[in-house]
Amino acid sequence: GKYRVVSTKAMPGTRWINLLIEQDCRVEICTQKKTILSVEDIIALMGDKCDGVIGQLTEDWGETLFSALSRAGGKAFSNMAVGYNNVDVNAATKYGVAVGNTPGVLTETTAELAASLSLAAARRIVEADEFMRAGLYDGWLPQLFVGNLLKGQTVGVIGAGRIGSAYARMMVEGFKMNLIYYDLYQSTRLEKFVTGMSGSSVKIYQLLTLILMLICFLFAAYGQFLKANGEQPVTWKRASSMNEVLQEADVEAILINCSRGPVVDEVALVEHLKANPMFRVGLDVFEDEPYMKPGLADMKNAIVVPHIASASKWTREGMATLAALNVLGKIKGYPIWSDPNRVAPFLDENSPPPA
């Protein structure tokens, strides 16, 4: 191959590799056993000739890596993720590197995990499973693992983009929940699912007092989001008003986070879970991922999973393919693929994208 494309991780399926090989690329996949590569590891991997890189959300793509990629002749980088808070796009631009991400292919899969966490939290599935396996079930009881009915309750969605809207559709159409949402902008995408719904201006405080369920998707402008609500400006890294927000939360609310860990103050959350045993949480992401704050793992009213929201076979293969197409497109001089509103057109006919 004329071009050298590096992937920092082995990725599912073979389609992404074949696409690159067919288009004159040599593909090199990192063979290191460690889960998270350091900046130094990645510089070594890129070497002195590298045309494009497919990287992961665990990696710190900033000034150092983009300047190294540029020195190696690289012009393209794609995150194998829809989120790109690990990527300094300004630094990439400065070094002439185009950046792609993988929207669209993970929408339904991620929303389904959010729905799974919502149901599991409402019906205390994980606690009940642990109880059963521990041999504690000694007969049916009227008060055993009583949870909450979703039907007729209100679900609040923060971040009404593709994923938030798909989740809203599932909860409204599937479980007949009422819907409120918060976003910086009015979302016709989401409002389409609810007859008579219009206007979005619900403040985050109101959202938490009113609702049974909260799904929280991070959008890049999270700091802006709090500011828009009259909060003191916060950085992306720190949602410092979370304590106050939680104070206002309904004692039987459920909080789901399938966005990025730092939108929730996890220490404040642990305190809140301790003080309110009927408040439940389903977390796919953590403030100091892969670590959990002390105490969280002991909370019966918390369900925790290791950042698996996009982990369906169809989606992960789609993400790998889209990431490869992003890099390939730039190398070959096509526009970068990952347009936020485009559904990836490239998957096999026998595995059609969700309708």
Q: Which helix (H) or strand (E) holds 216?
A: strand 213-216
Q: Which amino acids are annotated catalytic?
A: 260, 289, 307
Least separation in angstroms between CB 264 and ligand GLV? 15
Nearest to 85 by CA among 204, 203, 217, 183: 217
Closest CB to ligand GLV among 155 and 258?
Answer: 258
CB 213 within 8 A of CB 177: yes
* Contact (Cβ atoms closer than 8 angstroms) between residue 89 and residue 101: no
Residues 6+ positions from 237 with CB-CB distance below 8 Å: 262
Q: In angstroms, give the least distance from the CB of 106 to ligand GLV.
A: 6
Residue among 162 and 272 whose Cβ is closer to ligand GLV = 162
Q: Return phi, psi of residue 213, to 5°.
A: -125, 140
- Helices 107-122, 125-133: axis angle to 10 degrees equals 60
Contact residues: ligand GLV, CB under 6 A:
57, 81-83, 106, 310
DSSP-derived 3-state class of residue 154? strand
Q: 3-state DSSP call for residue 23?
A: coil
Q: Which is nearer to ligand GLV, 83 or 253 (CB)?
A: 83
Q: How far apart are CA 37 and CA 41, in angstroms?
A: 6
Pick between residue 43 and residue 106 the one whose CB is nearest to ligand GLV. Answer: 106
- By beta-carbon proximity to ligand GLV, the closer residue of 83 and 159 is 83
DSSP category for residue 44: H
Q: Which of 3, 100, 105 is nearest to 54 (CA)?
A: 100
Q: How far from 246 is each of 20, 132, 251, 264, 308, CA to CA, in Å?
A: 48, 32, 9, 10, 25
Shortest spacing between CB 55 and ligand GLV, in angstroms: 12
Measured from the CB atom, is 44 or 144 closer to ligand GLV?
144
Residue 92 or 180 having the CB closest to ligand GLV: 92
Least CB distance from residue 201 to ligand GLV, whole Å? 27
3-state DSSP call for residue 85?
coil
* Of residues 124, 117, 159, the one with CA closest to residue 299: 124
Q: Give me the least distance between CB of 47 and ligand GLV, in Å please.
A: 27
Exposed, middle or buried by CB within 10 Å (0-12, 13-18, 19+), for 149?
exposed
Distance of alpha carbon 14 from alpha carbon 3, whole angstroms: 18
Query: Residue 85 CB, nearest distance to ligand GLV (Å)?
Result: 8
Residue 24: count of CB within 10 angstroms of its CB: 12
Are the C-beta atoms of residues 172 and 179 closer than 8 Å to each other?
Answer: yes
Residue 209: CB minimum distance to ligand GLV, A: 28
